Amino acid sequence: MLVACKADNGVEHRETGEEMINNIISTLSLEEKVGQMTQINSVGPVNDDLRGMLQAGKLGSMLNEVDVKRINEIQRIAVEESPSGIPLLFARDVVHGFKTIFPIPPGLASTFNPELVKECSAAAAAEAWSSGINWNFGPMIDVVRDPRWGRIAESFGEDPYLVSAMGVATVEGFQGDDLAAENTLAASAKHFAGYGAAEGGRDYNTTLIPRRELHNIYLPPFEASVRAGVKTFMPGFNDLDGVPASGNSYLLQDILRGQWGFKGLVVSDWASIYEMINHGFAADSREAALRAFKAGVNIEMASSTYRDNIISLVKAGKIKESEIDRLVKQVLMLKYELGLFDNPYIPEKKQNVFADSATLMLAEKAAMQSVVLLKNNVLPLEKDSEIALTGPLAHQMYEQLGTWNFDGDSSLSVTPLMAMRELAGSDKINFAPGLRNSRSSDSKGFKKALNAAYNSDIIVFCAGEEAIITGEAHSRAYLDLPGAQNELIKELAATGKPIILAVLAGRPLTIGEISEYADAVLYAWHPGTMGGKAIAKIIYGDADPSAKLPVTFPVTEGQIPIYYNHKMTGRPVIEDEWVHINDIPEKAFQTSLGNTSHYIDAGFEPLYPFGFGLSYTTFEYSDLKISSPVISITDTLEICFVLRNTGKRSGTEVAQLYTRDIAASITRPVKELSGFKRVQLEPGESRKVEFLLPAANLGFHGIDLEYRIEEGEFKLWVGGDSNASLSTSFEIKNKL
For the chain, the 3-state helix, strand and coil shares in percent, each to the nearest 5, are 35, 20, 45
> Which one of the listed residues 93, 146, 239, 269 is annotated catalytic?
269
| DSSP secondary structure, 34-87, as one string | HHHTEEEE--SS--HHHHHHHHTT---EEES---HHHHHHHHHHHHHHSSS-PP
Spell 242-254 as b/e; 16+ CB within 10 A means b: ebbbbbbbbbbee
SS3 487: helix
Strand 672-681 versus strand 630-632 pairing type: unpaired
Whether the link from the prior residue into 147 is cis, omega within 30° of 0, is no
Helix boundaries (H) for 46-198: 48-55, 68-81, 105-110, 114-129, 160-175
CA 261 to CA 468: how far, in whole Å? 39
For residues 458 and 500, is the Cβ–Cβ distance under 8 A? Answer: yes
Active site residue 308: no
Instruction: State how far the Cα of 76 lies from the Cα of 345, in Å rounded to an integer.
Output: 8
Q: Which amino acid is at 112?
A: F
562 closest CA partner among 526, 594, 525, 603 = 603
**Helix locations, 275-378, DSSP H:** 276-279, 285-295, 305-315, 321-337, 357-370
Backbone angles phi, psi at 482, to 5 degrees: -75, 170
Residues in Cβ contact with 616 at an 8 Å cutoff, skipping those fewer than 6 apart: 373, 376, 379, 380, 541, 544, 545, 647, 649, 651
Residues near 353 by beta carbon (within 8 Å), at least 6 away in sequence:
126, 127, 130
The answer to whether 629 and 730 have CB atoms below 8 angstroms apart is yes
**CA separation for the pair 640, 652 (Å, rounded):** 18
Phi-psi domain of 97 (left: phi exceeds 0; alpha: psi -120 through 50; beta: other) = left
**Strands 520-523 and 135-136, sheet pairing:** unpaired
Q: Which amino acids are annotated catalytic? A: 269
